[in-house]
Amino acid sequence: MSSNEDPKAKDVNDDAHAASPAHPPSDEKSGGGAYLFLSFIVGLALSMVVGWAVFPKVLYSKKSQPVDFSHKVHIEEVDNGCESCHFFREDGTFSGVPKLEQCIDCHEEVMVGTENETVFVEQYVAKEREVPWLVYSRQPDCVFFSHAAHIYGAQMECRTCHGDIGTSDTLKPYEENRITGYSRDIWGHSIAGFKHNSWDRMKMDDCAECHETAGIHDSSVQTGRDACFVCHK
Ligand code: HEC
Ligand code: HEC
Ligand code: HEC
Ligand code: HEC
Ligand code: HEC
């Protein structure tokens, strides 16, 4: 980016030269130098803004969820905690994002009449239409992931991989990578690649990093024999 700014900085310098006959040489020299330095700083600042703020905005498109949902409110209303809506079926598969079935006992009709609830009841419950929730953690189709292995097998908490969604009051916008079509929660929010929490990112290396620490199989992505088929279909 900064190499793009260089020609501009040169232009400014040339301008100063073209105007030189009208000015005493000493004045022109120091003024041009300061101007050149200033435009370098401005250019640098601009490219940093483009790199750090604008680039992710261009790369990701934000979509809001079809209905906002408060985990905080609902966790007090249900009897069975998270499992009231996210449970394991008898065959061990994970139910994932809830279906209307998990909502209609309470939302047959509008209760409190907020805009959000009205949209939910009128557009989805009344029409028996499933809500097209956007799944933040959705992996590409080639990835095999089993909740049972991690929840029953490894006794892990939801938070380790999903952060605080389970206690949140509102659903954050879903950010879709315009190039890959994947959720931003896979690639991570820090464009510099920093990771502070285990749930900040869920790329191949993040799965593998934990598997290596936990000592399961030879699951190092680089070295493991047959390791690819642990996570890939
Ligand atoms: C009353 C139903 C209900 C209960 C109870 C509930 N959830 Fe949810 N949960 C939802 C709905 C609806 C969504 C869909 C929003 C979405 O797509 O993220 C969701 C989404 C999620 C997601 C996001 C999945 C993704 O990647 O998009 C996580 C994580 C989650 N819930 C965790 C929890 C945890 C942890 C608890 C218990 C503390 C819990 N939920 C209790 C209804 C519920
Ligand atoms: C055990 C009963 C119960 C279940 C099951 C339940 N809800 Fe609710 N829900 C409530 C109550 C009570 C409120 C009103 C809370 C309030 O605003 O005081 C509410 C409020 C809402 C609202 C409105 C919140 C707002 O911002 O105004 C939405 C949307 C909603 N629920 C969606 C769902 C969805 C989707 C499901 C199924 C995944 C679900 N609910 C399951 C009891 C339930
Ligand atoms: C080891 C990390 C890990 C743990 C622990 C974990 N999840 Fe997930 N979860 C994932 C991944 C990865 C996906 C995406 C799976 C895919 O797209 O194939 C996912 C997907 C989901 C989804 C969306 C599923 C869908 O496609 O409909 C929900 C809801 C969810 N998880 C809830 C939970 C809840 C609730 C818990 C705790 C009981 C939990 N998860 C524990 C990693 C984890
Ligand atoms: C924070 C730690 C952690 C993360 C992150 C994690 N896993 Fe795991 N995973 C485990 C542990 C521990 C086990 C072993 C469970 C057991 O004892 O059966 C496991 C087991 C598995 C298994 C079953 C392996 C087998 O042959 O039994 C698969 C498949 C798997 N993980 C895929 C994934 C994928 C894909 C991701 C990333 C999207 C992921 N895991 C992220 C800790 C993790
Ligand atoms: C611990 C689990 C795990 C193992 C082991 C693993 N992968 Fe992956 N792989 C993933 C996950 C999760 C993704 C999706 C996220 C990403 O792109 O990083 C992925 C993505 C990929 C992709 C890109 C697919 C796409 O559609 O973007 C390729 C190619 C790939 N893996 C190849 C391999 C090969 C080859 C091996 C064996 C050397 C391997 N993987 C081992 C978890 C794993």
Domain segments of the chain: what residues? Answer: 28-61, 135-231
Residue 82 Cβ contacting ligand 2 at under 6 Å: no
- pLDDT for 213: 84
What atom of ligand 1 comes closest to residue 167's alpha carbon?
A: 38
Q: Which residues pair with 62 in a beta bridge?
A: 175
CA distance 212 to 204: 12
CA distance 11 to 141: 51
- Residues contacting 192, CB < 8 A, separation 6+: none
CA dihedral 124, 76, 184, 137 (to 10 degrees): -80
pLDDT at position 11 is: 44
Q: Which of 65, 71, 150 to mutate to test the pocket of ligand 1 (most atoms within 8 A of CB)?
A: 71
Residue 12 contacts residue 35 (beta carbons within 8 Å): yes
Q: Could you tell me if 111 and 117 are in contact, meaning their C-beta atoms sit under 8 angstroms apart?
A: yes
pLDDT at 186: 93
**Mean pLDDT across the stretch 40-56?**
77
Residue 194 CA to ligand 4 center (angstroms) comes to 22
Ligand in closest contact with the CA of 221: 5
pTM attached to this predicted model:
0.86
CA 106 – CA 45 distance, rounded (Å): 53
Q: Look at ligand 2, atom 28, and give the residue with the nearest C-alpha.
A: 117
Atom of ligand 4 nearest to the CA of 143: 35
**Distance (Å) of CA 54 to CA 136, 178, 179:** 22, 14, 16
Which residue among 138, 146, 162, 184 is best mutated to probe the pocket of ligand 3, counting the most ligand atoms within 8 A of its Cβ? 162
Q: Is residue 71 lining ligand 2, measured as CB closer than 6 Å?
A: no
| Nearest alpha carbon, ligand 3 atom 32 | 96
The whole-number pLDDT of residue 31 equals 67
pLDDT over 60 at 44, yes or no:
yes
Q: Give the mean pLDDT of 67-82.
A: 95
Ligand 5 within 6 A of CB of 208? yes
Does residue 65 line the site of ligand 2, with CB under 6 A? no
Q: Is the pLDDT of residue 49 over 80?
A: no
Instruction: Give me the DSSP letters along the chain.
Output: -HHHHHHHHHHHHHHHHHTGGGS-HHHHHHHHHHHHHHHHHHHHHHHHHIIIIIHHHHHEEEE--SS---HHHHHHH-SSGGGGTS-B-TTS-B--SPPGGGTHHHHSS-SS--HHHHHIIIIIITTT-------TTPPPTTB---HHIIIIIS---HHHHHTTGGG-SSPPPEEEETTT--BHHHH-S-TT----STTS---HHHHHHHHHHHT-TT--TTT-TTTHHHHB-
Q: Is 156 in the pocket of ligand 1 (CB under 6 A)?
A: no
Express each pLDDT in 103-128 by its tens digit: 999 999 888 889 999 999 999 999 99
Ligand 4 centroid–CA 143 distance in Å is: 12
In terms of Cβ atoms closer than 10 Å to its own Cβ (0-12, 13-18, 19+), residue 175 is buried
| pLDDT greater at residue 11 or residue 144 | 144
Cα 39 to Cα 8: distance, rounded to the nearest angstrom: 8
Asked whether 137 lines ligand 3 (CB < 6 A), one says yes
Is the separation of the CB atoms in 183 and 62 below 8 Å?
no
| Nearest CA, atom 1, ligand 5 | 208
Is residue 116 within 8 Å of 123, Cβ to Cβ? no
